[in-house]
Every structure is written in C-alpha cells, then in structure tokens.
Amino acid sequence: MRHRTWTRRRFLGAAAAGAAAVTIVPRHVVGGPGQEVPSDTVTYAIIGKGGRADKGIGCLGARKQIAVCDVDYTHMGGPADGKTRYRDYRRLLERKDLDVVCIATPPHWHALPCIHAAQAGKDIFCEKPMTKFIAEGRAVVDAVERYGVVFQIGTFGRFKNSTNKGHVENHKIIKYGLIKSLDGTVAFCNAKNRTGDPALPPEDEVPESLDYDLWLGPAPYKPYNKNRVHYKNRFYWDYEGGDLTNFGAHSIDPWQWSFAKDFTSPVQARPCAPWPQHPDAVGPFAWVELTYADGLTMVLGGGKITLPYDREVKRQMVSAKDLDDASRQQLAELPDPPPLVEFGQAVRTRQRAGGHAESSHRVCVAMHLANIAIRLGRTIRFDPETERIVGDEQADRLVDIPMRAPWHL
C-alpha cells in the first residue's frame, strides 16, 4: 500500500535500530486477533458528505476514515469523531497519509476532484455519474491512467451480470465478433424522470454554513435558491442531467458490460421527448434510442410520459442459438471473461477495478448523448473515436462545456 503510517519495512527497520530499548510491541502495530496490521488498513477521506458519502466502499475491508471535506459545515459533524475537517478538497489532497478519496459531491464537482486526486496519487471511489459533460470524462480517464491510480464508480450492477451465465454468453459472442450484426437487438434500460422547477423564486438568503461560491465551483453563477443545492441540484442542467444520469447509470452500466461496450460509445441518439426543453430545469422525456455501430440499440426510458417504443424488437440478448454451427463451436472453446475485480482488491493488488474509469466514462457518454438529444429535440450522431458530435455544431458545443473561471480542465 502507498503512503502508510506503518509499513512492514518501516516497522522492521525501527525495531532493528532500537532493539535494545524495545521489550513489548503493541498489538496495534503487529496485528493479531481483532487487530489489523496498520499497513493493511486503508485510510480514506470523504469529499462531499451528502447522502451517499461512503455507502459504497465497504469492499475496502480494513479501513479508517481520517478526514472529511464539504463546503457546508452542517454536513461534517462535530469534532468528537477525531476526523480532520476541510472546506477545500485541494488542502485535503495534500495529506501524505491518505490512500483513498470517496467523491460524493454533486456531479458538476466530480471531474476536477477526480483529476486532482489522481495527480496526488490517491485511489478514487466516485459516485455516479462520473462527469457532468463528455470532455470531462476523457480528462478523468487520462489522469487515472497517467498516474496509475485505481478508480471505481459507485455502481455495481455489472458485477452481478458478469457472473450470470446468459450475460456472460452474450458478452463473449459480441466481444469475439461471433455474430455479424446486432440489428434488431434492443436492450431496455430504465430511469425515473423527476423534473426541475422552471419557476423558482429568484433568490434565497445563503446559509452561513455554506460556501455557495465554492459549491458552484465550475458551474455558471446563478442566484442561490435552496431548491437548487444539495439533493435537488440534480434536476438543473448546470449541475447534473436529471434522473437520466442518476438512475440511468445503474441501468446502463450492467448492460454495457453484457454487450461488451466498455471501450466504445453509441453512434446515434434519437429522442422521444417534449420540445423545446427548458434551458435551466430538467424536463420530462419518454425514451431515447441509443444505437451502436454494430446495430445494437439501447433504449433508455423515462417515467413521466408513457409512450411505446416505435421500432421492432427481435431479441433483447444474443445466445448460442443465434450462431451458425462453426461459431457455436468456437464459442464453446472460448474462455469466460475473468471475474471483475472489486475496489478493495484492486487497491491492494493494483489491478484495474471492475467499474474502471474508461467504462464509467463510456456509460456517461451514452447518458450525456441522450440528454443532448432531448435538449435539442433532434437526432444526433457521434464519433466514438474522436468523441465529438458529427455535423451539428450546436450539439457539439455541449460535449465540452466551458467552466466558470478560475476552474478549468
């Protein structure tokens, strides 16, 4: 492990240097029943102490929270718990005794802490969605890979699919190209569809406990309203993408693994939603059809408008029965994909976690494309290699949204 207060090497060195003076070694140093060796205990801190906080990092095993960071003092608890408190996450990341950060801020504050944590050598557990817009995701992936840290997104549905016989077979057939076309194959994903309020009062008084300017961070300045911050921020375009990027992540992520799409993105997004959409408040949608280059269609459905999907569905998954004899024999000889690595194991072994940065970025790309199509009221086309929208300058501007100064990627 990195940045440990005690390591085996350090302990043995200290013991050798002072052997004459040492007669009893404390249990908390050497471990034993009920005591973890300090070098096996992962130290972590929470950035954004909201409702999610550290809900997903139980897989770390032996762990110790040493700090918490939030722009609202009322979220950080009292001093009696022994944790150091920070308002600015950049000061937190300066700590040398910190192994993992759990990022549970609003999504407009996901990308920059992820990038800065990677630069500081900290492993990252980030709540979904990974990013606010598409270009942020590529920046996070590049930082994670460049600095060699472990990244895990806060959704785990793919772990269940990766051990399901039918999903594993579907994954192998597509990964190894055993079926020529997925035209007519439709995966249905679901999301709730709560909306923002387009008629909020212009301004409330900012609570003394909240640093509102820092809460906004890279988001555009808007007068404070209590219904725009904390949980309800997700229903305004400045901060998140509504329930489509909230619950949609839990639905798309496992199917993306099942259809072997962790390293590519849809080439088209076709919306079925009211238009025009409000420029600030997230509005309703019926569904968005996301089509991949091999013909796979992923349909993400909303809840407030119930309209039937308007295309023929031949199948929702593929299996050996869809193959010719030669391909079926080849499938039988191919190994199953290795088990996905849990975050705690990845932190200790330096392996890639199951919900890694690239796959998490590709999930976000699908959701962001859906939202762009909804907001503009038209079909958009996307190049998964360049990660730009094709032939639509207005839509492409939503791929890389300027941040409020002085924040930048």
- Site of tokens 């994670």: 144
What is residue 390's predicted lDDT score, i.e. its pLDDT? 98
Contact between 324 and 233 under an 8 Å Cβ cutoff? The reply is no
**DSSP letter assigned to residue 99:** -
- The tens digit of pLDDT for each residue in 111-162 reads 999 999 999 999 999 999 999 999 999 999 999 999 999 999 999 899 999 9
- The tens digit of pLDDT for each residue in 170-214 reads 999 999 999 989 999 999 998 888 999 999 887 889 999 999 999
Q: Are strands 186-190 and 268-272 parallel, antiparallel or unpaired?
A: unpaired
Cα distances (angstroms) measured from residue 40 to each of 18, 102, 105, 380:
24, 18, 28, 49
Closest CA to 302 of 395, 197, 374, 199: 374
Does residue 1 surpass a pLDDT of 80?
no
Q: Which domains does the chain have, with CATH numbers?
A: 8-157 (3.40.50.720), 158-198+234-335+356-396 (3.30.360)
Mean pLDDT in residue range 218-237: 94
b/e map 354-365, b = 16+ CB within 10 Å: bbbbbbbbbbbb
What is residue 105's predicted lDDT score, i.e. its pLDDT? 95
Mean pLDDT in residue range 381-398: 98
What is residue 378's predicted lDDT score, i.e. its pLDDT? 98
What is residue 241's predicted lDDT score, i.e. its pLDDT? 96
Q: How much is the mean pLDDT over the chain?
A: 89
Lowest mean per-residue pLDDT among 25-34, 70-79, 234-243? 25-34
Residues 243, 157: Cα–Cα separation, whole Å: 17
- The tens digit of pLDDT for each residue in 295-317 reads 999 999 987 666 889 999 999 99
CA end-to-end distance (rounded Å), the chain: 29
Closest CA to 36 of 64, 3, 1, 67: 64
Residues 48, 113: Cα–Cα separation, whole Å: 10
Closest CA to 1 of 135, 86, 100, 93: 100
Say what percent of the chain tops pLDDT 70. 87
Contact between 294 and 173 under an 8 Å Cβ cutoff? The reply is no
What is residue 11's predicted lDDT score, i.e. its pLDDT? 37
- The tens digit of pLDDT for each residue in 265-287 reads 999 999 999 999 999 999 999 99
Residues 42, 330: Cα–Cα separation, whole Å: 43
Q: What is the DSSP string of 249-295?
A: HHHHHHHHHHTT-TT---SEEEEES-SSPPSSB----SEEEEE-TTS
Spell out where 80-183 has E strands: 84-86, 100-103, 123-126, 151-153
- The tens digit of pLDDT for each residue in 9-58 reads 343 344 444 443 443 433 333 344 444 445 689 999 999 986 665 666 77
Burial class of residue 230 in the structure, from the number of CB atoms within 10 Å of its CB (0-12 exposed, 13-18 middle, 19+ buried): middle
Contact between 248 and 191 under an 8 Å Cβ cutoff? The reply is yes
pTM higher than the cut 0.75? yes
Q: Could you tell me which residues are beta bridge partners of residue 389?
A: 382
Contact between 386 and 196 under an 8 Å Cβ cutoff? The reply is no
And the tokens for 245?
């990027």
And the tokens for 308?
């039937």
Residues 212, 206: Cα–Cα separation, whole Å: 7
Residues 45, 88: Cα–Cα separation, whole Å: 13
Mean pLDDT in residue range 214-224: 97
Contact between 65 and 92 under an 8 Å Cβ cutoff? The reply is no
Lowest mean per-residue pLDDT among 43-57, 144-158, 322-336, 369-383? 43-57
Residues 370, 32: Cα–Cα separation, whole Å: 52
